[in-house]
Amino acid sequence: MMRLHAKSSIAAVLVCALLTSAVACAQQTMSNQDRQLFMEILRTAHSEVQKHYYDPKFGGLDWDARYRQFTDAMANARSRGQAFHLVGAYLAGLKDSHTYFIPPDRVNHLELGYQLSLVGDDCFVTQIRPKTDAESKLHIGDQVLTLNGYTVERSDFFDLLFAVQVLEPQQTLRLGLKSPDGSQRMADVDSIVIPGRMLIDLTPSSEFDRPDMERQIEMEEHLLRARLVEFGDVAILKLPEFFFDMDAVDRIMKRAGKDRALILDLRGNPGGSAETLKWVVGSLFDHDVKISDRLGRKPAKPLIAKAQKDAFAGKLIVLVDGGSASASELLARVVQLEHRGTILGDKTAGAVMESDVFAESSGVNTVVLYGFSVTAFDLVMADGKSLEKVGVTPDETILPTGADLAAGRDPVLARAAQLVGVKLDAAEAGKMFPFEWMPLKR
């Protein structure tokens, strides 16, 4: 399946793809066996990109010379954590949002206990899990100035989170914070440790592990469900991602199809399936729409959304923010280019490519699973431009303040409601789609 899914939500990929494999704590000293494993991982990364990357010139990067450089560095790596970072950095040299390392799963998982989100060029604490260390040290609406000593900037926000959450999870992170009242402080916040086991039994006869995994997948599907709220003849639809079947899209759009207006909330949506995107776009237009051309090593058909029967014909408003990536950005830009509706919110992530995921393994008796996402196509819109590293600029930029976040206000949704004639203040809008945490039990 071709994916329009940015690196920002790689954890969702890891859950289903890597549950059968585990490695010990990333900070442990490297053994010879470890070093051989990471040499193989680096070699496989080099090969998969060389064979499949959309640009045979690698953006002007000497791919073979870079491989030799990182092979030498890997020979001197002192820990597994450093080795994970080397593989990640090797691929990061392409500066491509959809080409990255999917590392082996770890025995023990770490959960931050809070969520960080971009608002304009700044980063804020936007959610805090109850009964955690974060609850006693952080406040929703705090601006995060530094993370482990690194200045938090929009340009490398997702790479920084990827490093501390995926490549080398940190049990304690030091945050430099600025409160809504302007005061500044430092906080050392402990992550939540979720104990695991070295071996996981996913065979059909498994009494515990397989049912636990199936329950976890069901819970994730529930948390990532589409949610629809109606105010008379106005529908507000929140899509957390683009991974659901076409029947689900049809049911949702059939229900909303009779409404006068639709507010489509894509904030925080990292993308998903190209097929789901085409189906959603086709449900919003009365004619076929070319989403983008696909530029790769070989000629490829463009992404075309076929108009669906009884497509929604009313007024359309799309909400986006700095966490809206890939497929979300494509939909928002198509709406702009086709003059189909209004885009409100914040500038999107600028992470728009199409990729394939390659699952890899190493070992015989004990198998280590890992993988790579490799960009297969650049996506060029009808105006001849790519959204990669550019993003979508809303027709009307609306940024919640730290005080808005702290008070649970949503001025973006409130403004959208105003534009379609619905009376909804920012405080009421903030309660529309309550945040739901994934249960911690693994």
Confidence (pTM)? 0.88
- Look at residues 209, 206, 203, 243 and name the one whose alpha carbon lies nearest to residue 226: 243
pLDDT digits (tens, 9 = 90+) for 381-412: 999 999 999 999 999 999 999 999 999 999 99
Q: Average pLDDT of 209-221?
A: 67
CA pair distance 7, 100, nearest whole angstrom? 7
Q: Is the pLDDT of residue 302 over 80?
A: yes
* pLDDT (0 to 100) of residue 21: 33
299-320: average pLDDT: 94
DSSP state at residue 365: S
What's the mean pLDDT when you consider all of the chain?
88
Angle between helical axes of 32-52 and 63-75 (0-180°, round to 10): 170
Kindly report which listed range (33-42, 72-81, 299-308, 358-367) carries the lowest average pLDDT score.
358-367
107-123: average pLDDT: 90
Q: How far apart are CA 427 and CA 410, in angstroms?
A: 6
Q: 363 — alpha (psi -120 to 50), left (phi > 0) or beta?
A: left
Model confidence at 214, pLDDT cuts 50, 70, 90, reads low
pLDDT at 20: 31
Mean pLDDT of 65-86: 93
Question: Could you give the CA distance from residue 103 to residue 16 in angstroms, rounded to a whole number?
Answer: 13
Pairing label, strands 172-178, 143-147? antiparallel
Across the range 422-428, mean pLDDT stands at 95
Assigned architecture for domain 221-352+382-430: Alpha-Beta Complex (3.90)
Please, what CATH class does the domain formed by 110-194 belong to? mainly beta
Which pLDDT tens digit goes with each residue over 244-278? 767 777 787 777 777 899 999 999 999 999 999 99
Structure tokens at 167: 């490549």
For the chain, what are the domain ranges?
A: 110-194, 221-352+382-430
- What is the pLDDT averaged over residues 207-212? 61
Write the CA distances from 331 to 92, 244, 309, 325, 399, integer angstroms.
Answer: 26, 16, 19, 10, 21
Average of per-residue pLDDT across 218-227: 75
The pLDDT of 37-41, averaged and rounded, is 94
% of the chain beyond a pLDDT of 90 = 67
Query: What pLDDT is recorded for position 95?
Result: 94
Q: Write down the pLDDT at residue 197.
A: 62
Q: What is the largest CA-CA distance in the chain?
A: 67
368 compared with 59, residue with greater pLDDT: 59
Q: What is the mean pLDDT of residues 324-346?
A: 97
Amino acid letter, 203: T
Q: Any alpha helices (H) in 224-320, and if so which ranges? A: 246-256, 274-282
